[in-house]
Amino acid sequence: MKNQILHKGYRLITLLLTCVIVVGVCLAGGGSVANADSKLTDATVQKYEEQLDQLHKQQQDIQNTLTKMAKEGSSLSAQKQQVDTYMDTTQRKIAIAETLLAELQGKITDTKASIETTQAEYDRMYEQFWNIVVMNYEEGDASYIGLILGADSLSDFLTRMDHVSSLLAYNKSVMDTLQQTQTMLEEDKLSLEAKIAVQNETLETLQKDREDLAKQEADILKKIGDLEKDQAAAQKEYYENKKKEDQLDKELEEYLAELQRKNQEKMESGDWLWPISLNDYHYNSSGYGWRLLYGVWDYHRGWDLAAYRGTPILASKGGKVVIAQYHNSYGYYIVIDHGDGVSTVYAHCSKLNVAKGDTVKKGDKIGEVGTTGNSTGNHLHFEFRLNGKYTDPFNYIKNPPIKVIASRYNK
């Protein structure tokens, strides 16, 4: 009876010893790899969240300014400038939120794949463990007695038992590490999913902000439209904006003329590209030269191409971006120096896709159509300048691909 119990004890030790060897081989070189990645993700997320917080504070400041301006009866164009800034801030918030969302989605995909790999390895080892247990149980006592009772002395037997104890401790450590790794990955997955959910909510809120802001902008445009019915008030607004536009024209002329004196670059050969794709709906709403505006004769410095908000604006020819900024008259606008003293201007953009100093090729997307600045609807104001001074676009695009209102040099 004692011998049977002893044999069963030896047999159990042998089974565990065998399993330890199997598990040890399977997990050699294993361990946690998620900590560094998790920390990197947290730092990236925090950076984007801080940027969103800063933009949100800017929005609050703009809203407070708009409320104050409305109470004080500020001009509509001045209010619209604030609305333009608010729209730009919201668009940047949405862009950051979308980038953050993509970052988190990528991380959660990687984490899920890691969890699946770890789980599959865990299941494989677990199944192999019990297969060995069953196999050794069915083989009987002979092989187990040979493994443990092969000791040729009491000292050798005790050494082997000590080795078995060490292996059992190592086995527990390995299995604990495996379980901890799986638990950590599961926690990372839940954390990332929670962040994705928060960012989805943020994105939905931002989209709503943009819709609300578009409505606010439409309300401003409606007020400007209503203002046209009051010719005296409309003319007052017109003269206020005209001063700003004339000042900008003077600054542009001086700046571009100075650039031309310094820049001896030659303009690329070939025809000029129409700044809006013919596949995108648009039409010429105002020509070059004199026009009646609010009952006042106004000299229009370029062509207006009415189009939907967000329609891509294309570089008419290659060159260097020398201006890409906001002005309360031209809104967000771009100036490209093409060489030989020729430059093009793209005004009232809703979005700028280039920055000062960028080099662009003909056909590159440089911005999107909008109604920023002194504008009563979504359109691209497109003009040519020679040595800084505005000039008739027909001098360069002699056969426009769409119907364009004839230039008017006399009132």
Across the chain, mean pLDDT equals: 79
Q: What is the pLDDT of residues 366-407, one digit of tens each?
A: 999 999 988 888 999 999 999 999 999 999 999 999 999 999
**d(C-alpha 159, C-alpha 163), whole Å:** 6
Q: 49-58, 218-227, 378-387: lowest mean pLDDT where?
A: 218-227
Give the bridge partners for 299, in sequence order: 290
Segment of 42-51, 57-66, 237-246, 296-305 carrying the highest mean pLDDT: 296-305
Instruction: List, in sequence order, the alpha helices (H) in 73-153.
Output: 76-139, 142-148
Rounded to the nearest 5 degrees, what angle is found at the Cα of 335, between the Cα atoms of 331 and 338?
Answer: 165
Can you read off the two tokens belonging to residue 327? 């002005």
- DSSP secondary structure code for residue 408 in this structure: B
Q: What is the pLDDT of residues 226-253, one digit of tens each?
A: 766 776 777 777 788 888 888 988 999 9
Please answer whether residues 402 and 380 qualify as being in contact, where contact means their C-beta atoms are separated by less than 8 angstroms: no
Strands 389-391 and 359-360 come out as unpaired
| 178 band by pLDDT with thresholds 50, 70 and 90 | low
| 89 band by pLDDT with thresholds 50, 70 and 90 | confident
Question: Looking at per-residue confidence, does 31 or 217 come out higher?
Answer: 217
pLDDT at 154: 65
Q: What is the pLDDT of residues 34-45, one digit of tens each?
A: 444 444 456 877
CA distances from 275 to 222, 260, 262 (A): 28, 23, 27
Give yes or no for residue 193 having a pLDDT over 50.
Answer: yes
DSSP E strands: which ranges in 228-341? 282-286, 289-293, 296-300, 303-307, 312-314, 319-327, 331-339
pLDDT at 285: 94
pLDDT at 363: 97
Amino acid at 107: K
- DSSP secondary structure code for residue 393 in this structure: G
Give yes or no for residue 54 having a pLDDT over 80.
Answer: yes
Q: What is the pLDDT of residues 321-370, one digit of tens each?
A: 999 999 988 999 999 999 999 999 999 999 999 999 999 999 999 999 99
pTM equals 0.67
Rounded to the nearest 5 degrees, what angle is found at the Cα of 397, between the Cα atoms of 396 and 399?
Answer: 140
Domains defined along the chain, listed by start = 2-224 (no CATH), 237-395 (2.70.70.10)
